[in-house]
Homo-oligomer: A and B are copies of this chain.
Amino acid sequence: MAQELVIGIDIGGQTTKCGIVDARGDVIIQTVIRTDTYNDVAPYIAELSGALKRIIAESGSEGRIRGIGVGAPNGNYYKGEIENAVNLTWGGTRTIEFAKLLSEAMDGIPVSLTNDANAAAVGEMTYGAARGMKNFIMITLGTGVGSGIVVDGKVVYGHDGFAGELGHTCSVRNNGRLCNCGLTGCLEAYCSAIGMARTAREWLDMSDEPSALRSLDKITSKDVYDAAKEGDALSLKVFDYTGTMLGQAFANFIAFSAPEAIVLFGGLARAKEFLRGPIESAMNASVLPLWRGKVKIVFSQLKESDAAILGASALAWEL
C-alpha cells in the first residue's frame, strides 16, 4: 500500500498534540500527551512513540506513514535537534537529537523537525488565515511567545536554523522582567500567557483597585480573560498593556521584513476582542509612516490543535 499519510506533532510546554494527516490535509485521528511530566527525554519519547503507535493501530494506518513532522520549541530544522529549550522540563540547556531518537523509537520512520512557531506558520500558510500570503509573520501567544517569519513564501531559518525568536527581542531595556531564557525585558516575559498573568498579579499587589481577580488563589491568563469579559476594569487594563507592548514590538518587526500581515495564534490570541484595539493603535503609532495603517493584524481561524499538527505534518511531506 502507498505511504500516503504523515504524522504531525506539536510539542508545547505543557502538552504535546499529535495526529495523522492525509494527503487532503484532513487530520484523521489525533491524541494528546503531557509534555511537562518528564525530566528526561527518554521516558517522554517512550510515551510519545507509544501514543503514536496506538493512533496508527486504531486508524489502521500501519505501513502507510511516509514521515513524521515535529514542531518543537528551539527545534533546529537543519540538524533535527532541540537545543536549549528552557520551556521544556526535559529540555534545559542540553542538545537533544530529537529527530534521530524519535525515528529510532518509531522503527525508522523518517522525522523532520522545526520550531513550533515555524510549523504553525506553515500550517497557517497552507490551510489558514495566511493562505495566499508570501510575506507574513506568525506570532504564537502561548506558554511562551514564538514566531515564524515567512519571506517570499518561505520560512526564514537563518544561518543556523534558529531564526525567528522574536519572543526574545527586548521590550523593556532597563529593569525588565527576568525571562526564562536568562535575559531580561524580553517580549515573552510580558506578552505570553504566563507573562500576562504575572502582570495581573503585580498590579493587584501594587494597588488596592477592586477586581474580580482578587478572590482567586492562582491567577492564569484565562482568569484575566474571563474577568475582562465580565467587564473587570483591572483585567481590561492588563489586556491594554499587553496589547500595547505587542503592537510596539510588531512595529519593529515590520521594519525588518515588511510583512503583509502579522498572524496571531495560540491560547492568548483567543482574546482578540481585547487585544486587537491596543495592538493596532500602538503598532501604527510606533511604525514608520510608510507602513501606518497598512499591515493587517489577523487572528488565526484554525483550531489551535489542527493548525500546529497540520503545519508540522507539512514538513513530513517533504521527507
Query: Which A residues contact B (CB, under 8 angstroms)?
Result: 74, 83-84, 93, 134-135, 149, 151-152, 154, 156-166, 168-173, 181-183, 248, 251-253, 255-260, 286-291, 294
Contact = CB atoms under 8 A, between A and B. Distances in A.
A120 to B, nearest CB: 17
Contact of A159 (B134, B165, B171): B134
Given A151-B151, A289-B84, A259 B159 contact: yes
A159 B260 CA distance: 5
Nearest to A166: B255
B289 A160 contact: no
Nearest to A95: B290
Nearest to A93: B289
Contacts of A152: 154, 156-157
Contact of A256 (B84, B166, B170): B166
Contact of A294 (B135, B160, B161, B255): B160
Contacts of A183: 286-288
A286 B170 contact: yes
A151 B162 contact: no
A162 B290 contact: yes
Contacts of A252: 169-170, 252
Given A288-B181, A288-B183, A289-B181, A163 B251 contact: no
Best-buried of A93, A171, A183 by chain B (most CB within 10 Å): A183
Given A158-B135, A253-B256, A168 B288 contact: yes
Contacts of A287: 183
A257 B158 contact: yes
Contacts of A256: 149, 156, 163-164, 166, 169, 253, 256-257
Contact of A258 (B159, B182, B260): B159
Nearest to A162: B258
8 contacts: A135-B158, A160-B258, A160-B294, A162-B290, A168-B288, A172-B173, A173-B173, A183-B288
B162 A259 contact: no
A259 B135 contact: no
